[in-house]
Amino acid sequence: MADTPQFTEFQGIPLDPRTDYYRIFDDVDGADLEWWKKARDFCEFARPFVNDAWEKAEYNIPGAEEAARRGLIRDGIDIEGQPAMSIRAKRMIGMEASRLDASTATAFGVQAGLAMQSINSFGTDEQKAKYLGPMSRMEIRGAFALTEPDHGSDSIALETTAKRDGDDWVINGEKKWIGHGSVGHITVVYARMEDGKVGAFIVDQDQEGYEATTITGKGSLRGIPQAEIKLNNVRVSDDRRLPGCKSFRDTAKVLMSTRIGVAWSALGLAIDCYEKVLKYASERHQFGRPLIKNQIIQQRLADMLMDVTGMALYCKRLLELEESGEVTEQQAALAKVHNTRAARRVAANARDMFGGVGILLENDVIRHFTDIETLHTYEGTDTMQSLIVGKSITGVGAFTG
């Protein structure tokens, strides 16, 4: 093997052996490889627009609609008339979208991983037929409303209520940090019913009593709008309730899948940071020679590769468990914590190694650097995921003081 592996192409997908150092993804083939290629083709199409959208804090709806036209906003859900998408394919799509832009990947996750999966997991056949096809085409944009202003990590303490009134349900409460909540068409609202159980309801965003305000001033994930929502006597008919949702444990099944998705997203961001700074250090000359001829640069690149490789191995093993139906909430939590922590280190190193130009959006790493802060927090904070793992290995819960 040469001292410096050269850029190669594997079955139509360019894989730099300096990134996939252990050849972890060599076995992606067949239909899964085709989905990966479709994702990469979309990302090349969307790449010229992401920094502008992020800087202006604008949601690139046409870009999301283009991804839908290419069949990418599915999260593996079976849609009549559309080709099958495996668990492996959906994870590769998520990684690739994040390698492009975390806001774009979050839009995929909100639409398909949360809103569509809620309907797919808890809805009737009629509800699935009505919503899932149009949502996969982004004809209906959906939101997932669980988090509340006073209940983030302790979302089980849900205060939003749904009370039965004849054939309808009347919903009152507030939600916060809801992707698509102010720019969509429907919101799947989770609320506490009178019997204490958790219910899920499909609420039209234009109906009376639904008030959504886009949260401004964000320094992270600026390319996807998130909303604060007030629900004041919002009335929905019983056929808009998702009958399969009866407890918070049901909701947790959807959240576990998206938590796994965050581990893959963190990997995508870290790969892009590592590859961008490797290229930059190879081309940038200081003191009469390229940066990569400096020992400290080589050591830092090796450190970044260690993190990227570790993250990829976590994802690969988690994928095997997910495919076999054996993955647990605790295993998902461990991967989420590990990969977002590692991605933080990789992004910080990349930003620093770029020097002054590292703060320019045109080099991408500063966007990844700030966006990883949101990934580190959402779908369960670092602390809460660590406590989930801690309870599993000690048998003692430590979620309260």
Task: Say if residue 101 is in the same domain as residue 153.
Answer: no
Where a domain ends, among 224, 246, 268?
Answer: 246
Residue 328 in domain = yes
In this predicted model, what pLDDT tens digit does every residue of 290-337 receive, in sequence order?
999 999 999 999 999 999 999 999 999 999 999 999 999 999 999 999
Q: What is the pLDDT of residue 244?
A: 95
Residue type at 267? L
Check if the beta carbon of residue 143 is closer than 8 Å to that of residue 111.
Answer: no
Q: How far apart are CA 267 and CA 256, in angstroms?
A: 17
Q: What share of the chain is helix, strand, coil (3-state, %, to 5)?
A: 55, 15, 30
Task: Say if residue 133 is in the same domain as residue 233.
Answer: no
Residue 155 in domain = yes
Task: Say if residue 234 is in the same domain as residue 308.
Answer: no
Task: Say if residue 159 is in the same domain as residue 131.
Answer: no
Residue 7 in domain = no
* Mean pLDDT of the 173-188 span: 96
Model confidence at 397, in pLDDT bands (50, 70, 90)?
confident
In this predicted model, what pLDDT tens digit does every residue of 78-104 receive, in sequence order?
999 999 999 999 999 999 999 999 999
CATH of the domain at 125: 1.10.540.10
Model confidence at 14, in pLDDT bands (50, 70, 90)?
low
CA distances from 152 to 106, 121, 243 (A): 18, 23, 24
Residue 337 in domain = yes
Residue 8 in domain = no
Task: For residue 386, give both structure tokens.
Answer: 């660590």
CATH of the domain at 278: 1.20.140.10
Task: Say if residue 164 is in the same domain as residue 93.
Answer: no
Confidence check: pLDDT of 5 > 80: no
Where a domain ends, among 86, 119, 137?
Answer: 137
Look at the chain and report how many structural domains it folds into.
Answer: 3
Task: Say if residue 288 is in the same domain as residue 348.
Answer: yes
* Mean pLDDT of the 364-377 span: 95
Q: What is the residue range of 381's domain?
A: 249-394
Model confidence at 383, in pLDDT bands (50, 70, 90)?
confident
Task: Say if residue 165 is in the same domain as residue 97.
Answer: no
Closest listed residue to residue 55, CA positions, set 106, 96, 103: 103
Task: Say if residue 238 is in the same domain as residue 352.
Answer: no
The 3-class SS string of 101-170 reads CHHHHHHHHHHHHHHHHHHHHHCCHHHHHHHHHHHHCCCCCEEEECCECCECCCHHHCCCEEEEECCEEE
Q: How far apart are CA 261 and CA 219, in angstroms?
A: 22
Residue whose tokens read 């490797």: 278
CATH of the domain at 187: 2.40.110.10
In this predicted model, what pLDDT tens digit does every residue of 259-273 receive, in sequence order?
999 999 999 999 999
In this predicted model, what pLDDT tens digit does every residue of 235-257 receive, in sequence order?
999 999 999 998 888 888 888 99
Residue 171 in domain = yes
Closest listed residue to residue 126, CA positions, set 243, 234, 250, 248: 243
Q: Can you give the pTM of this predicted structure?
A: 0.93
| DSSP character string of 221-290 | STTS-EEEEEEEEEEEEGGGEETT--SHHHHHHHHHHHHHHHHHHHHHHHHHHHHHHHHHHHH-EETTEE
Q: What is the pLDDT of residue 154?
A: 60
